[in-house]
């Protein structure tokens, strides 16, 4: 016979079956609430993505300021791109963009923002047009599948992020599809 699962049990880590009849009511309530919040998190995340895409289409930048400012502060202190080649620096920046956005979503930035963050991070551009050099490098990395790109039309710059950014968005869509099936 299984002992009753308790909230105060801390010495063992166990997997809990939410349907277990021997579960303390408080523990059941916490697990139910966690499930509800996870579903809400997915729904809010998808709504934020839809709003961001709509703003992109209309030519307005979505608010990535929090993650962007975090990278600015980190790069100003650490100077991680000092002495690196442009391709290496861009790849490192794209990987960082994969983990600093809102709700764990990737941060999408354009070529000018990439140039700015690289300079703050200690990258020394040579002679010529740094923005053009960054754009060419990002396009090449995207074509090689080493970073993700959201192409935008007209006068709007494409946005770039970590390679995993596209699969992260796909995973969220799959979770929503599964959640609606389960509901």
Residue pLDDT, tens place only, 140-160: 999 999 998 888 777 777 888
Residue 86 has a pLDDT of 96
Query: Of 76-90, 117-131, 145-159, which range is least confident?
Result: 145-159
**Residue 177 near residue 169 (C-beta atoms within 8 A):** no
DSSP H/E element including 121: none
Confidence bin at 170 (pLDDT 50/70/90): very low
Residue 104 has a pLDDT of 64
- Please tell me the pTM assigned to this model: 0.57
More confident residue, 177 or 158: 158
8 pLDDT above the threshold of 60: no
Domains in the chain: ranges and CATH: 55-179 (1.10.10)
Return the DSSP state at 103.
Answer: G
Confidence bin at 180 (pLDDT 50/70/90): very low
CA–CA distances in Å: residue 158 to residues 88, 130, 135, 145: 20, 16, 9, 15
Return the closest-CA partner of residue 131 out of 108, 115, 120, 152.
Answer: 115
Distance CA 136, CA 119 (A): 17
Residue 135 has a pLDDT of 93
């Amino acid at each position: 016979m299984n002992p009753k699962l308790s909230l105060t049990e801390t010495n063992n880590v166990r997997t809990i079956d939410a349907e277990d009849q021997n579960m303390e009511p408080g523990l059941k309530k916490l697990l139910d609430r966690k499930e509800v919040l996870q579903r809400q998190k997915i729904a809010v995340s998808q709504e934020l993505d839809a709003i961001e895409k709509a703003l992109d289409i209309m030519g307005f930048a979505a608010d990535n300021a929090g993650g962007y400012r975090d990278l600015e502060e980190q790069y100003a202190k650490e100077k991680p791109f000092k002495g690196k080649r442009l391709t290496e620096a861009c790849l490192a920046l794209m990987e960082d963009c994969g983990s600093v956005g809102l709700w764990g979503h990737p941060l999408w930035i354009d070529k000018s923002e990439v140039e700015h963050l690289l300079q703050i991070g200690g990258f020394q551009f040579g002679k010529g047009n740094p923005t053009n050099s960054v754009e060419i490098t990002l396009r090449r990395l995207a074509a090689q599948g080493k970073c993700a790109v959201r192409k935008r039309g007209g006068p709007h710059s494409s946005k770039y992020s970590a390679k995993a950014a596209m699969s992260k968005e796909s995973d969220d869509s799959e979770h929503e599809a599964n959640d609606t099936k389960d509901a």
